[in-house]
Amino acid sequence: MLKVGLTGGIGAGKSEVSRLLVEHGAVLIDADLIARDVVAPGTPGLAAVVDAFGTDILTPDGGLDRPRLGSIVFADPGRLAVLNAIVHPLVGARSQELEAAAAEDAVVVHDVPLLTENGLAPLYDLVIVVDASPGTQLDRLVRLRGMTEDDARARMAAQATREQRREIADIVIDNDVPLDALRKRVAEVWDALAHRAREPRTPSADGGRPPGGAE
């Protein structure tokens, strides 16, 4: 099994890359989807979030009001840290369960938005960073997701910088390109991942990650 960490700034197009990798045969473990599941109505996770933030972050039907909670935590690093301390352990435990169920020769891609911020790179055999310029990120968030420019900038500022993400990358996928070019690049990356997943594994002091910087 090859364990791959996939990350990128908000609006960089990480979801599109993960979708393309799944088309090639990757097993995807999506931290965002799991994060929604662990705070679904009736879960201990949601109860813990309500204890920390109050009932104002609930919708009338008892679910989590994500836009309201987001407006609170992305404007306050301290509050964001509180939320992360609740949700991240739950996401981690569920991710490990899903990984354990994958085949021995699988390429398991962990889609983790805050991989850089939380120092998670050592958990994976290699890390892929989906990269786009801040201008591209901002345009996508405003134009495609309907965010205000202020909200988009606040969410971008709450994440690691572009340089910090690239520092922990073993492979960088440029997503300031047309879709056809992105498809070609992802296909090249997949070929390398699949080849490595089939190779016999030998333990190493650095956890098996390749030497050197980003490709």
User: What is the pTM assigned to this prediction?
Assistant: 0.78
Q: How confident is the model at residue 106 (pLDDT cuts 50, 70, 90)?
A: very high
Token pair for residue 214?
A: 């980003």
Q: Where are the alpha helices (DSSP H) in the chain?
A: 14-24, 31-37, 44-53, 66-73, 77-100, 134-143, 149-157, 162-167, 179-198
**pLDDT value of residue 113:** 87
CA dist 169 → 6, 83, 86, 213 (Å): 9, 26, 27, 7
Q: Which helix (H) or strand (E) holds 187?
A: helix 179-198
8 Å CB contact between 107 and 26? yes
Count the Cβ atoms, other than its own, within 10 Å of residue 202.
6
Helices and strands per DSSP (H, E), number in the chain: 9, 5
- C-alpha span between 37 and 6 (Å, rounded): 20
Token pair for residue 196?
A: 């490595």
- C-alpha span between 73 and 81 (Å, rounded): 8
8 Å CB contact between 31 and 91? yes
8 Å CB contact between 160 and 169? no
pLDDT at 205 > cutoff 60: no
pLDDT at 207 > cutoff 60: no
Share of the chain above pLDDT 90, in %: 76
What's the chain's average pLDDT? Answer: 90
Q: How confident is the model at residue 206 (pLDDT cuts 50, 70, 90)?
A: very low
Phi, psi dihedral angles at 160 (to 5 degrees): -60, 160
Paired residues of 129 in beta bridges:
7, 172
Q: Which helix (H) or strand (E) holds 174?
A: strand 171-174
For the segment 123-131, the average pLDDT, to the nearest whole number, is 96
